Structure 1
Amino acid sequence: MKTEGTQTAPNVVEDVFDGQATGVEVEDAGETHLVIQKPWNPEQIRVSTSAFSLRNILDLIDEESLELAPDFQRGQVWRASQKSLLVESLLLQIPLPAFYFAEDSDGSFRVVDGLQRLSTLHDFVRGGEKSFALTRLDHLKDLEGHRFADLPVPFKRRIYNTQLTVNVIDPSTPREVTYEIFKRINTGGTPLNAQEIRHCMSRPRSRDILKRMTHTHAFDMATGGRLKDHIRMNDREMALRFAAFWLHGLEAYHERPVMESFLMAATEMLDDPNRVPDEQVEALERAFERAMTNAHLVFEEHAFRKWPLGALGRSPINRALFETWSIALADYETADLARRREEIVHSARRRMSRDFEYLDAITSSTADRRRVDYRFTAAAQDAGAGR
């Protein structure tokens, strides 16, 4: 360990969303764009523009040919008045901005841009008893309080016949480019973060795996209950980071040292039962639960948080600490860790107090290959303290 005097941990900044603290430290990954590994042939990148009637799109949703990325937390943030104004726009025949769909090889579609708008319209038209009532309309005041079933037939027909412009990304488009398109055209008041984009691009298998991993008592204990069903999907991202390093190993990151690309590759693996069969998924989930149990045993309420010597209070969860310490603790027996707990905690806290290089590795440019290496090595050494 490099010791150059004693310092406290650098300033810890907690991420805030919609005015509320998220419980997770802001991360400076040191990268802003996914690196596309090879030049692509522009002729292979096809985005076609089509017109769909709203009735056609709602039918696609109902028959599960168009996926609205279920379990997407931010999909429910619109107020009733916002939803009503969207419906009023259709009734007034005001064109909506274009939508983006990504087409899969089996002919099904996923929403790339326009998820909230389509979810709102589907809830209103096909929600049945759960359909919301129109409120605070600007122009069609006589329709306030009406659900879809209450509308006069001409208005129902107008909604169904509304033509929506949809840009469809062809399945032959390279995945990295689709991801980049997703990032560029993502609209709305608050852009999606990287994990939210991965969630929308992924298939149900990986989403179900990550949800199971983060819906355990062990995970709640290790994270202090702050991450369950996290509004920015930080819970799923941290589970995915564990899965990526557990499946690939640190060596694979050396070959592709861009965190966004590394995590997207892990998502694709989890979606493919031929690459990660069910038995391996079960082993992954057991290892993750064991890691969470061990992390809480050793660090208690300070698990995955900066905790230098002399620190008061509790810091927010740090992603870099989560990925390294979860991997470091996954293979240890509980009895062994319980016996060495004091030595492990002292070694880790001393490092957070005196090792400047380690503090850099968990604070800034955290996706840098050398810093990833350093913090994984450090966590492994500290986890072995007292043996």
Structure 2
Amino acid sequence: MTSPDHQESPKITEERFLDIGGTDVEEEPENDDSLEEIDRPWNPEQIRVNTKQFSLRNALDMIDDESLELAPDFQRGRVWKPRQKSQLIESVLLQIPLPAFYFAEDADGLMRVVDGLQRLSTIHDFVRGGEGENFTLKGLEYLRGAVEGKRFGDLPAPWKRRINNTQIVAHVIDPTTPSDVMYDIFKRINTGGTPLSAQEIRHCMSRDRSRDILKAMTSTKAFNSATNGMGGHIRMNDREMALRFAAFWLRGLEEYARFAAMELFLRDTTSLLDSSEAVPQQQVQNLESAFGKAMENALLVFGEQAFRKWPWRSSGRNPINRALFEAWAIALAQYDAADLDRRRPAIVEAARDLMTNDYDYLEAITSSTGDVRRVRYRFAATSRAAEAGK
């Protein structure tokens, strides 16, 4: 084993920064060639999108009676500043046409907002928000003298009617559209300043059961302690990491090899979690217990460096690495804390040596991390490191 004292200090890996700030999760470039070879090109007849027109009153009524869903827990869509919200309402009052919305309809007739969540949430908050929730208009450009400082309830009746009667155009994705095609549509139609992440799209496409499971897994003290408080992440990176653990814990490497692409694997696992027949409640409880144990063990062994690249002679702390997260979480879920505590120095040494001297391992956690050979290699190498000191 190479001595730590003779290693060069590597650069700290950069995390991805967005308009909302740092994500504290390392960007994961993927080679999408494998995806392009699967079920493409789409048959145009499978793409079914109907265009409908609604009044804002009708759309808000559908939100209130839960036939139009604003994607629960979808935090990224609600980050507009007060002035942005007010100027959207001003645009409606000025009768400036709003950009088209995209909704996705399921087999039960429930529709989810795919594109336009910020706009529709803002309008709903202003018009239907309860006391203390509906905001005051401020920072207007053209109607300052008329409605500045007013809430919806303060507006004259003609202004209220103008908002309620405003017509919006919505492109509704038909429920008969295959899920893979729907996912591709979701990726293409994002019009906001920050496109939806893969997990945000999965969230839009999923049902309450998988959402609740992933939320429960990432709301625990164990998870937040091991990930420096990542629960409730604004880009849903926390939910994706929990989903990755669930996918490999429930299904294993051989099942992953059948999909040969991380996105397809995670999408299919989301569908499984939505089914109480495929994943019964007892299995969900076992999953959540194993995940909690993995988080506690990761914190015990690696402390604040859990799930981060930590080569010898590194300074500072890298962002969380998703490939390391899934491999180490799965590996550590099977051990008792007392055993790991005794072997901690040996495990840390083995892990850091992997991240310093094993170039195949470094490739497996850095680029094309969904490649089947690299997935197999990092799981096998991580498992061996977790056995160090025995």
Task: Name the TM tier (shorter chain).
Answer: over 0.9
Question: Which deviations, in whole Å up to 9, do the C-alpha atoms of 1:20-55 show, x marking residues without a partner?
Answer: 332222222233895573355433331111111111
Whether the aligned pair in 2 keeps the contact of 1:68 and 1:115 (CA below 8 Å) is yes
CA-CA distance at 1:340 after TM superposition = 1.3
Whether the aligned pair in 2 keeps the contact of 1:219 and 1:292 (CA below 8 Å) is yes
The letter for the 2-side match of 1:170 is D
What secondary structure is seen at the aligned counterpart in 1 of 2:374? helix
Question: Which deviations, in whole Å up to 9, do the C-alpha atoms of 1:200-221 show, x marking residues without a partner?
Answer: 2221211111111111111112
Question: Which deviations, in whole Å up to 9, do the C-alpha atoms of 1:133-179 show, x marking residues without a partner?
Answer: 11122222211111111111111111111111111111010001111
CA-CA distance at 1:110 after TM superposition = 0.6
Name the counterpart of 2:335.
332
Name the counterpart of 2:355.
352
Q: Residue 203 of structure 1: which of 204, 207, 216 is its match?
A: 207
Name the counterpart of 2:101.
99
Whether the aligned pair in 2 keeps the contact of 1:88 and 1:140 (CA below 8 Å) is yes
Q: Percent identity?
A: 63
Paired residues in the alignment total 385
What secondary structure is seen at the aligned counterpart in 2 of 1:110? strand
What secondary structure is seen at the aligned counterpart in 1 of 2:114? strand
Work out whether 1:148 is the aligned partner of 2:119.
Answer: no
Name the counterpart of 1:294.
297
Matched residues in 1 for 2:116 and 2:47: separation? 21
Matched residues in 2 for 1:102 and 1:179: separation? 11
Name the counterpart of 1:372.
375
Gaps of 5+ in 2: none
Whether the aligned pair in 2 keeps the contact of 1:29 and 1:366 (CA below 8 Å) is yes
Name the counterpart of 1:229.
232
The letter for the 2-side match of 1:50 is K
Cα RMSD of the aligned pairs, angstroms, is 2.0
Name the counterpart of 2:192.
188
Gaps of 5+ in 1: none
Name the counterpart of 1:21.
22
Work out whether 1:117 is the aligned partner of 2:119.
Answer: yes
What secondary structure is seen at the aligned counterpart in 2 of 1:249? helix
Work out whether 1:38 is the aligned partner of 2:39.
Answer: yes
Question: Which deviations, in whole Å up to 9, do the C-alpha atoms of 1:105-141 show, x marking residues without a partner?
Answer: 0011011111111100100110031111111222222
Q: 1:36 to 1:148 in 2, by over 3 A?
A: farther
CA-CA distance at 1:267 after TM superposition = 1.1
Name the counterpart of 1:50.
52
Question: Which deviations, in whole Å up to 9, do the C-alpha atoms of 1:196-247 show, x marking residues without a partner?
Answer: 111122212111111111111111121122x121122111111111011111
Matched residues in 2 for 1:122 and 1:203: separation? 22
Question: Which deviations, in whole Å up to 9, do the C-alpha atoms of 1:65-111 show, x marking residues without a partner?
Answer: 11101111212211111111111121111111111111000011011
Name the counterpart of 1:220.
224
Whether the aligned pair in 2 keeps the contact of 1:134 and 1:147 (CA below 8 Å) is yes
With normalisation by structure 2, the TM-score equals: 0.94
Within-5 A mapping of 1:169-318: 169-225=173-229, 227-318=230-321
Matched residues in 2 for 1:337 and 1:209: separation? 28
Whether the aligned pair in 2 keeps the contact of 1:9 and 1:306 (CA below 8 Å) is no
What secondary structure is seen at the aligned counterpart in 2 of 1:128? coil
The letter for the 2-side match of 1:127 is G
Whether the aligned pair in 1 keeps the contact of 2:12 and 2:317 (CA below 8 Å) is no
Q: 1:145 to 1:184 in 2, by over 3 A?
A: same
Whether the aligned pair in 1 keeps the contact of 2:34 and 2:260 (CA below 8 Å) is no
Name the structure, 1 or 2, with higher relative contact order (CA <8 Å, separation 6+).
Answer: 1
Q: Which moved more, 1:257-266 or 1:24-33?
A: 24-33
What secondary structure is seen at the aligned counterpart in 2 of 1:83? helix
Within-5 A mapping of 1:55-70: 55-70=57-72
Matched residues in 2 for 1:32 and 1:123: separation? 42
Matched residues in 1 for 2:152 and 2:33: separation? 43
